[in-house]
Structure 1
Amino acid sequence: MGRLVPAVTRALDILELFLDGDGTLSAPEITRKLGLPRTTVHELVTTLAARSYLVQVPDQPGRYRLGVRPYQLGSRYAEQLDLAAEGRQVARSVAETCDETVHVAILEGADVIYIAKVDSTHAVRMVSAAGRRLPAHCTSVGKMLLASLSEEALAARIPEGAPLIAMTDNSITSPEELRRHLAVIRERGIAVEQRESNPDVSCVAAPVRDSTGQVVAALSISVPMIRWSEERQEELAELAAKGAGELSARLGHRRRGA
């Protein structure tokens, strides 16, 4: 690895300060937060402003906010993102950690579509494929995605009073029961499915967010019942959340306080 350039590092440190608070800072505030010499901060801020990375706040002399250049760079980065490709990379990493089948799925209507899948190396594993469509209410990824919807959007996909199809004896078939289940998922931030789409498999799923904070996908870990337990569920729920968080970060999401 090459040597880090101190001046570039300091300039990037200044830019990253604007990710918190109200998005505006003065040179003295930057000096205090980073512990840099006042003259150094002045030179760096002047340079960043000259290149449109920072701009002075109108009617607030001495205060700065992000300029247009970071937005242009972020937009170009977002243009080249591919959710399926990024999902496969993260799913591969998660699968290598737990050696179970990992999926990434999106919501379409009342169904989920799997856009990425990485298999376990075990002889006993889940049989599925990228591109497969399943009823959302029968899967952990689907329930995670349904739980992220507003009441209006959920009602458009799952009308109250309309029976839901069952894939197994454990599938939820009542919209009212489903809504109670989704309320728990919203509170926990994790969805669990126990033999609801496959009588021999249980799953856990976590939400994937884009740069705006919107849930755009879900990542799940699927486990045959012979390897499932309450302890294993908790372990995999934590790993699914970590993997979903990594994929979210790749899509530009930044957690509050991060």
Structure 2
Amino acid sequence: MGRLVPAVTRALDILELFLDGDGTLSAPDIVRRLQLPRTTVHELVTTLAARSYIAQVPGQPGRYRLGVRPYQLGSRYAEQLDLAAEGQQVARSVAETCDETVHVAILEGTDVIYIAKVDSTHAVRMVSAAGRRLPAHCTSVGKMLLASLPEPELAARIPDGTPLAAMTPNSITDPAALREALADVRQRGIAVENRESNPDVSCVAAPVRDRTGQVVAALSISVPMIRWSEERRAELEQLAAKGATELSERLGHRGGA
């Protein structure tokens, strides 16, 4: 574990004081409860107020309450919890239909993180786990999520001329080739991975949208090559799209992008 930053720790200590009592505090209250120097408290309170983590109580000079920023962060955290919980339920339903491994993943930087997963009951199946992180360009969920980004944001994450890491001989390593693949994903609305993260597995993925129409996740079905065929791929594409639509509806999406 890295070294804790004292100033950040003190700022968080101040924010956590608002969990008790009536939810308002003065600078002297903070000095007394945390045993910190008045100058330090003044600087921390000024910084937290400037960033909207706390705000002055109207009509009570010198007293503070939580600002809008903690609410925004908490709302985003709640959205992620809802996505993971709903994603797990939908993934289970899809897996029961096809008896293959189903994932729901989100994009973080240039990686995907699996937030929900349901295993196939077959003896031969994809081995993975919720919480696993993989390079986005090597996965069907990652391709779907990268394809949903605005071009400037995609360019910032995947710069031209910078080779991409390979997980298998089939992995796309050329950013230009990846952009061609993403253009196809946008056109079809489905992403396909052909043994690009695992030499023995192929996957299909469809986009999951929130109530605003923004793509916030992707749902995939992973199949060992011994059960993969073009006919099976077409069936699973339809099933992944159906599952992603159901999850989108659970998140408040009502059609349209």
TM-score with structure 2 setting the length = 0.69
User: 2:90 corresponds to which residue?
Assistant: 90
User: 2:247 corresponds to which residue?
Assistant: 247
Deviations 1:206-232 (A, max 9, x none): 000000000000000000000000000
User: Partners in 2 of 1:162 and 1:251 — Cα distance?
Assistant: 36
Please list every run of at least 4 consecutive aligned residues from structure 1 whose deviation after the TM superposition is greater than 3 angstroms.
78-81
Shift of 1:146: 0.2
Shift of 1:156: 1.2
Q: 1:256 to 1:174 in 2, by over 3 A?
A: closer
User: 2:182 corresponds to which residue?
Assistant: 182
User: 1:170 corresponds to which residue?
Assistant: 170
User: 1:109 corresponds to which residue?
Assistant: 109
RMSD (CA atoms): 1.6
Deviations 1:9-66 (A, max 9, x none): xxxxxxxxxxxxxxxxxxxxxxxxxxxxxxxxxxxxxxxxxxxxxxxxxxxxxxxxxx
TM-score with structure 1 setting the length = 0.68
Shift of 1:196: 0.2
**8 Å CA contact retained: 1:194, 1:203:** yes
**8 Å CA contact retained: 1:107, 1:145:** yes
List gaps (5 residues or longer) in structure 2: 1-74
Deviations 1:116-164 (A, max 9, x none): 0000000000000000000000000000000000111101111111000
1:223-242 to 2 correspondences below 5 Å = 223-242=223-242
User: 2:220 corresponds to which residue?
Assistant: 220
Aligned residue identity for 1:252: G
What's the % identity of the aligned pairs? 85
Shift of 1:79: 6.5
Deviations 1:49-107 (A, max 9, x none): xxxxxxxxxxxxxxxxxxxxxxxxxx9xx869610000000000000000000000000
Shift of 1:167: 0.2
User: Partners in 1 of 2:252 and 2:116 — Cα distance?
Assistant: 19
**8 Å CA contact retained: 1:81, 1:251:** no
List gaps (5 residues or longer) in structure 1: 1-74
